[in-house]
A and B are shown apart, each in its own frame.
Chain A
Amino acid sequence: REDEMTAACCPRRRVVKLTSVLTLQDEISERGHEALREMLRDHSFVGCVSPQWALAQYQTRLYLLNTTCLSEELFYQILICDFANFGILRLSEPAPLYDLAMLALDHPESGWTEEDGPKEGLAEYIVEFLKRKAEMLADYFSLEIDEEGNVTGLPLLLDNYVPQLEGLPMFVLRLATEVNWDEEKECFQSLSKECARFYAIRKQYVAEEDHEKEECESSPVSWKWTVEHILYKAFRSHLFPPTHFSEDGNILQLANLPDLYKV
């Protein structure tokens, strides 16, 4: 919290004294696992299995790590710890909330049924609803919505990292439906969780053809480069992994040298 720079290498321009945010920061510290943090801090990156899974070595042990879940937790912690101090990723073209909401409602994952009423009406409601929250979203989260109901800017959470924009429609829908807008702490928590979900790297948004492009592995635009040099680098310095990661298979020990010697 005392660092002068944020995870996105922006100068920390505001000191946050909101009890709700300070409590959420304390909760991150309380559920953190010190040994896992040490492992992440000192690991050697081995390679990507897929956009979702990667291998890392720590001391004599080899681990399989769920990059999607770890990156989601990383972005949640950045949203809470760098709260109200984000830079802005300005979209080169405004994104109409109405179109984004309609795209999301067309997706089966939205769970839309005819009983919910026409999609057009829901999309219009989402636009008006989020426009009313625009001032707070811009001030605390650098999420910019203009008066015409377009998304114009997204928070810059991590240096050199841009979220996969295919996740933007579902993010907009979930902002309106999954965030608790009534209680301050729950609002910041659920909003940060939805934003982190959007920013986490997702296998389905990495095009199939890109999986096979070995020649692009060293290019700064490839997903493999981003995973290794942006995400895992940030895991070393900015992620305090929660204890449950060692129990739910998100950080899984595959092998250790002493046992392999025996074999």
Chain B
Amino acid sequence: MLELRLVQGSLLKKVLESIKDLVNDANFDFSSSGFSLQSMDSSHVALVALLLKSEGFEHYRCDRNTSMGMNLGNMSKMLKCAGNDDIITIKGDDGSDTVTFMFESPTQDKIADFEMKLMDIDSEHLGIPEAEYHAIVKMPSAEFARICKDLASIGDTVVISVTKEGVKFSTRGDIGTANIVLRQNTTVDKPEDATVIEMNEPVSMTFALRYMNSFTKATPLSNTVTISMSPDLPVVVEYKIAEMGYVRFYLAPKMEE
């Protein structure tokens, strides 16, 4: 028996929108402490890790650990039928090959049930090692999205360089080059507007902008984004989901031949 009631149902809608273009099918792993998802994109260059802890749910019941394979495109179609203010409940029964999404309007005058077929998914489970990162940049998520979008109109890849001067995003393409530098800025009215650079050692890495732009679909989930980099390790782009968990995207760097 599985029953999860999320008053802020829009959160689940936003989570799905942030990952559905990267991952087609994925196993959702439910346990008593919350649910998680880990999946690589089809080209095996990026990895998505999602965690939503049980504390964030108004009601959370999971009698035994269970894994449900879902097509994220289909799940997104169903969740789009929920209103932004709706309460969303996920229900499942042991051994069933379906999952039910229930949408309740805030005034309880409309209640909808959507039953979705589950699927068997073979997925390799990867251990994500704890790493000491050379540099961790925390910045407004909207600013990061703007930079990725702007640079993608010039080039295909972004070089992210962190020095004690700041963080530099650079690209080059047929029409020219672009460099955007952000300096550490903690003297802001709201903490979420700050750019904070923690640097142990300077680092410079190259990534495909196509993936970075895909990650920024998670922008509505969080006012800030954290970018953690170490040479030869996948970059971690993390959007924290207030009080509940996170969506993390890992992307392999582009290497010189």
Are A and B co-members of a single complex? no
Binding site for B on A (CB under 8 A): none
